[in-house]
């Protein structure tokens, strides 16, 4: 439980604020997506225990998964590419902490679920 709270706190710090109330609709022609309320950001923790985020010696190495998520899930919406969504590793829990709009979280979850073994 402490790890979950710590991950949430880390995410809040990374996002600057957990929720904003900027109600708007944004169309991103390149992504072909319409994100409703792109200013409303939610923080979510994604555990990576069953994904290839670990080295052979057991060290947490999420860089490849982080890059792949940014490449595959609404690329223009990530902060590194001019958007507002942020992502950070949380090694203590083997997870990623992501601050993004709800629709983006839905896409991230679906993408990660497809990467999981036996899904």
Give the CATH number, domain containing residue 63.
Answer: 3.30.1370
Domain span holding position 73: 2-115
Domain count for the chain, please give it.
1
Residue 14 has pLDDT above 60, yes or no: no
How confident is the model at residue 90, as a pLDDT? Answer: 95
Residue that wins the pLDDT comparison between 21 and 7: 7
Write the DSSP string, 9-64: HHHHHHHSSS------EEEETTTTEEEESTT--EEEEEE-TTSS-B-TTS-B--HH
Residue that wins the pLDDT comparison between 9 and 90: 90
Biggest alpha carbon distance in the chain?
46
> Per residue in 21-48, pLDDT tens?
333 334 343 445 555 456 689 999 999 9
- pLDDT classification of 8: cutoffs 50, 70, 90: very low
Could you tell me the pTM of the whole model? 0.70
Residue 13 has pLDDT above 90, yes or no: no
């Amino acid at each position: 439980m402490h790890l979950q709270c710590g991950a949430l706190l880390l995410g809040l710090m990374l996002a600057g604020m957990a929720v904003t109330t900027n109600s708007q609709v944004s169309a991103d022609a390149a992504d072909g997506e319409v994100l409703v309320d792109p200013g409303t950001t939610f923080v979510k923790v994604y555990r990576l225990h069953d994904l290839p985020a670990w080295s052979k010696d057991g060290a947490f190495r999420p860089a490849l998964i982080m890059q792949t998520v940014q490449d595959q899930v609404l690329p223009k919406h990530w902060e590194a590419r001019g958007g507002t969504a942020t992502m950070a590793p949380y090694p203590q829990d083997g997870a990623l902490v992501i601050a993004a709009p709800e629709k983006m979280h839905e896409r991230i979850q679906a993408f990660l679920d497809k990467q999981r073994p036996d899904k």
